[in-house]
Amino acid sequence: MKSNDITISVEHHRGITHQAPSDKNIAENNLHEDIRLGEILLSKRANANTQNASQSTDSITQLRTKIDPQHTYIVQFDGGSRGNPGVSGAGALILDAERNIIWSTHLFVGNVVTNNEAEYMGAIAGLEAAKQLGIQQVILQGDSSLIIRQVMGVYKVKSSTLRPLHHEALKLANQFHNFTAEHIPRNLNAIADGLSNKAMDSRSKESLDDVLQQSSVIRHLLERYSCDIKTVQF
């Protein structure tokens, strides 16, 4: 790519792009600045969602009435572990066709969990919520190329601890009429990242939200990590 053709989208759903000047050094500086600003913008949005937690009152019944089975919904996920293995959390959200967040959650997974296990928990939580809401067409997005490629069958799952999680993710994926998974840059996954960090920070002990409350899969997986049901919706 020529330096004067460098373009980056920090919010691809809004179509915001920045054209770099012809000078190579200026172009590189602008590129890094765009990425930084994009990360700040998405991080602020994630924080805003957290602050508005008390305003989310939709029950699972109300949410189901908003779902159009003909539309494609995006499930974004993330997971993290401080220590790897260590204190871990997962985050997931569902976006509609206009990229409005219709559901989100953060989930404290456990105290001795790897980063990849937490990533899978985020993906499973998002897919499970989509299933519970009656969504039929899903695009799964995450910034972990390993998880995405394993789900799509590009990579084999060699880790014995990841195989059960991979199996659950595939079981859920196969229940949708249309399903695909795609890797996205970390700066475009900032909301899910903020959710997973919120889980690790707070280690919330609140009950599962109305959507995941219906899921025996989530409960079973959390029990495997010897922790209580710990999550909050916002």
- Domain residues for 173? 57-233
Per-residue pLDDT reduced to its tens digit, 8-38: 333 333 343 444 455 555 555 655 555 555 5
Average pLDDT of the residues of the chain: 80
Looking at the fold, whether 178 and 215 belong to one and the same domain comes out as yes
Looking at the fold, whether 65 and 18 belong to one and the same domain comes out as no
In which band, very low, low, confident or very high, does the pLDDT at 224 lie, cut at 50, 70 and 90?
A: confident
- Spatial distance between the Cα atoms of 90 and 231, rounded to a whole number of angstroms: 9
Please name the residue that has the structure tokens 């997974």. Answer: 109
* pLDDT the model gives residue 98: 94
- Spatial distance between the Cα atoms of 180 and 214, rounded to a whole number of angstroms: 24
Number of structural domains, the chain?
2
In which band, very low, low, confident or very high, does the pLDDT at 50 lie, cut at 50, 70 and 90?
A: very low
Lowest mean pLDDT among 43-47, 85-89, 174-178: 43-47
Looking at the fold, whether 30 and 69 belong to one and the same domain comes out as no
Looking at the fold, whether 147 and 64 belong to one and the same domain comes out as yes
Give the residue, 228 or 185, on which the prediction is more confident: 185
Looking at the fold, whether 82 and 22 belong to one and the same domain comes out as no
Nearest of 81, 197, 195, 186 to residue 141 by alpha carbon: 186
- Give the CA-trace dihedral at 192, 198, 200, 201, to 10 degrees: 160
Q: What is the CATH number of the domain that holds 129?
A: 3.30.420.10
Looking at the fold, whether 88 and 157 belong to one and the same domain comes out as yes
